[in-house]
Amino acid sequence: MVTSSGRDGNGLAGISFSRSEIVTWPNVFTLMRLCCIPVFVWLLFGREHRAAAAWLLAGLGATDWVDGWLARRLDQGTNFGALFDPTVDRLMFLVAVPAIVIDGSIPLAIAILAFGREAIVALTAILLGIIGVKPFDVTWEGKTGAFLLMFAFPMFLGAASTLSYAPVLRWLAWIFAIPGLGYSWYSLIVQYGPMIRVALAERNR
């Protein structure tokens, strides 16, 4: 889970970023991934090409690590990047899941569980950021759940396409989705929940 706090400790209102923090190669790469989100929607609904949309979404999920690697490799890790990258990841998720639901390519129960968890995380992050709670490190379980779901959703979409290996994708989608949801909700309830309670208690002292 990622939240943010202003430099003056007063929450989001106190945040400011320099140009050098914003204009970096990792952030450029993240921006490119952001620009691919409307392309995904266009492929799915404008061109009605499920296979292409599935491959693009899978590619976006598979390259999630690149901006972080660039930041470490080029020593360009910034506060802006620490917010921008997970924000784009969450936006991609919050756009892709409803789009695939509208397309009818995914079981509704899976979509509701995944979307509901991300909506809770996003709303909580915003509220905590507003009151100035410091960021939480993402847990291994949280990362694993997100990784598995990033591949499960394009697989569900590909399974509903005319690809010759669509039946295989259907099985793989379930294999990735079930543990992905398990890890995601475990991290939210068992790990992040207590972290939030402790952070709020410390802030109110």
For the stretch 146-156, pLDDT in tens is 889 999 999 99
Express each pLDDT in 160-195 by its tens digit: 999 999 999 999 999 999 999 999 999 999 999 998
DSSP state of 90: H
Residue 5 lies in a domain: no
Q: Which residue has the higher pLDDT, 134 or 149?
A: 149
Residue 6 lies in a domain: no
Name the residue among 120, 49, 155, 34 with its Cα closest to residue 83: 34
pLDDT band at 7 (very low <50, low <70, confident <90, very high): very low
Residues 15, 20, 26: CA angle, nearest 5 degrees? 95
Question: So what's the pLDDT on residue 14?
Answer: 52
**Phi and psi of 107, rounded to 5°?**
-60, 135
How confident is the model over 76-81, as a mean pLDDT? 88
Q: How far is CA 121 from CA 41, 61, 175, 197, in A?
A: 23, 19, 24, 14
Q: Which residue has the higher pLDDT, 128 or 34?
A: 34
Question: So what's the pLDDT on residue 90?
Answer: 85
Residue 76 lies in a domain: yes
For residue 24, what are the domain limits?
12-203
How confident is the model over 90-98, as a mean pLDDT? 90
Q: What is the CATH number of the domain that holds 159?
A: 1.20.120.1760
Decide: 149 and 176 in contact? Cβ < 8 Å.
Answer: yes
Residue 18 lies in a domain: yes
Residue 7 lies in a domain: no
Instruction: Please give the structure tokens belonging to residue 113.
Output: 């569980």
Is residue 132 predicted with pLDDT exceeding 60?
yes
Residue 194 lies in a domain: yes
Please name the amino acid found at residue 68: G
Residue 110 lies in a domain: yes
End-to-end Cα spacing for the chain: 23
As a whole number, the mean pLDDT across the chain is 88
Question: So what's the pLDDT on residue 11?
Answer: 47
pLDDT band at 15 (very low <50, low <70, confident <90, very high): low
Decide: 157 and 57 in contact? Cβ < 8 Å.
Answer: yes
Q: Which residue has the higher pLDDT, 143 or 9?
A: 143
Tally of structural domains, the chain: 1
How confident is the model over 20-45, as a mean pLDDT? 95
Question: So what's the pLDDT on residue 10?
Answer: 44
Q: How far is CA 183 from CA 122, 138, 177, 204, in A?
A: 17, 12, 10, 30
Is residue 89 predicted with pLDDT exceeding 60?
yes
Is residue 123 predicted with pLDDT exceeding 90?
no
Residue 1 lies in a domain: no
- Maximum Cα–Cα distance for the chain, whole Å? 61
Contacts of 3 (CB under 8 A, 6+ apart): 124, 125, 126, 128, 129, 133, 134, 135, 136
Q: Burial, 149: exposed, middle or buried (Cβ in 10 Å; 0-12, 13-18, 19+)?
A: buried
How confident is the model over 10-39, as a mean pLDDT? 83
